[in-house]
Amino acid sequence: MPHHVVSAKPKRSRFKFFGETIAELKKVVWLTRREAMYLTFLVLIVAVVSSLILGGVDLGFTRLIDTLFLGK
């Protein structure tokens, strides 16, 4: 049976972690307010259109099943 060797990870300082995190966040290219608003609006439109399409498909299948199996 093979032996499993578990090595201890080198312990890093929390301060070093947060310092590196802040340094990485400074490198991020953030969206402008206008771009963020546009993309938010676009996501909302896609969500509404998708829900209307899926709702229509669901309604169609419901009526089809009712007609075929329940004779309504």
53-67 confidence digits (pLDDT tens): 999 999 999 999 999
CA separation for the pair 66, 60 (Å, rounded): 10
Distance of CA 38 to the CA centre of its chain: 18
Domain boundaries, the chain: 30-72
Residue 8 predicted with pLDDT over 80: no
Task: Provide mean pLDDT across the span 34-54.
Answer: 99
CA separation for the pair 53, 51 (Å, rounded): 5
Q: Which helix (H) or strand (E) holds 49?
A: helix 33-65
Q: Which amino acid is at 15?
A: F
The residue with greater pLDDT, 23 or 4, is 23
Q: Contact, 72 vs 66, CB < 8 A? A: yes
Model pTM score: 0.60
Q: What confidence category does residue 15 fall into, taking pLDDT thresholds of 50, 70 and 90?
A: confident
